[in-house]
Structure 1
């Protein structure tokens, strides 16, 4: 008798206290292969009046009144637990259970997001959100799932480590991306196969598009100083990443005169060039430059997602006797002035710090020298004028009851006064 769609691995359990011994020709769990005929035999030592039958767990209508369970052939739904029952009269004496597993290639691979399958193989998300891609697959043994982004393997998951070697109606692997950014956009696909059927590799693809604000792709470019030469053209370059492509919504000049480069098309122009997905090059042209166009410029970019991007740069006058400006190739192959400036001209903040520090150090050294010189030429205190006077050089004048007075200075007088001396005369 044929049993459609059943093959398996048997998990054997022993129940009851009967004396008969039940024997199965397969050990549990037992693995069959889908599409191949197989059988499981159950025998028991009992009297001539005993009977042997099969039951399947979870299927109350399944009955097999023979000691040999036939699968012609094994099919995927055949997996499950089967119990061989030995009965003698109306008394059940013994039973054993075997788990049947069915090996079959990977099938039904799909990618979904929040349990929703992609109908057009694409999904759009705004940056800052989280996404979880789920790759669902059938097959046994549990398949190996490999995730790829733009052709590069980013994760490999062995589903048997998660589910064990047990039969399930399906398996799933999750791929999470938190705080999505512009760089996370691209083509994702999951690849599934199992060890029993190496030729059964299947994959499913989904394209994830990330809507993102414009950001500077080359951070050091955000603020620059560019040389200005009268009558020549200066080109300012910026590289940004955004989706969709941004627009120049404002271009301002904070200088000697009020100029709106967006409306002054004879002296200013901007162009966009695309080099790869979501990468854009912006060029700002300044034609026929004059002295009154030096100073700070600001450019505002926006694509309407969330935030705009503000870029600044400065045009500074180049010495008329300086070296000839360098040139570089534009994004479209046109030769343009080099925005990095000319040799011997200081354009960046580091150079400014060095010059300022050198000037400060020079002033400090000069102050120290002047202070030392003033200390050397300072006159000695008056109180020390008579410290080294030779007493032998003193002139004595004879007068009647006359007296002579020692030379003294005001500071000596103060010392005498401190000693309660009312005068400093000495008798001749």
Structure 2
């Protein structure tokens, strides 16, 4: 009997720009995140899924697919146990997915809500702990893949699920505040994924919802995250005055006076904003203050998972790298790039790709085209082709390379390399 093609998976891959090889790479990375060892899939594995020859992948692969796509295996058209079922129309499946995203949380809440005549369900810290574990999964996925629409959608859906949980039973005020903080955390991750993917209209929508939820929670740390992300969004939009104003809201929260780690992050992001605004002395001063605060921070102090997952010496140098590139001080930018790359933790896959791209720009601006191309060619294909920020910076790099080294063999080398990216993409 002929296998039935998985039209849903094929439609998802077309919509999100994945080839069989690039999806296999993303799945292998997600498996490494889950198990500590990279997966062994390649393009032929994905082609088996699309053709229907494999209709129900193994459990760890199904979980990896959920991390990458934001959808369950069945929502991607796979069939439990390999049982045949009609192949849904991809457009109808997309409409159904949107409907489930909107009402799925309500259905989940209804399933756990008390039935007539019984005592209402008690919501407790175990529910909060479960949501915080899901938030940690979102953070881990973001650091590996960054900017993906699937991450944004999954985080937004979890925010809605958390709010629906509020109405499914009774809870103490402390638990309710924690639930609002969880919802704000998920929404802020949706906002960040949209910023990282250059979907700024969506980012601003998530921002407004996140800010309201953070106010209801009273959680200073999540307020800091949201306003700090807002400053970053305006920086990427080329609006340094708005970026500085938003970042100042984050820096004005009293937890920055309690914990030097938060103070350092606020100053580090201010460094990048001053660089965009061409304020050289303020850039240098903000970096020095950020370094001093980071040196004072107690490494053992309890902090939220999102801060622990990314902010450290490497991130401080990354923001300084961005600042000095904007200032046109390319030797200083290169120095910060090398310090950033040497300090990056292994899970910071997205951050490494961004730092390497910026390093290539700094090297090219100093006239070292060979070193710049060598650096740029080390960037993984998945980041080069599927991360919006990296892709745009590499396009700009290619244009600058052709303008400054026109006719040289290194331009031909880069052209062949990017052609291979397009073949695999």
TM-score (normalizing by structure 2) = 0.16
Structure 1 or 2, whichever has the larger Rg, is 1
Question: Which structure shows the bigger proportion of residues in helix conformation?
Answer: 2
| Structure with the larger RCO, 1 or 2 (CA within 8 Å, 6+ apart) | 2
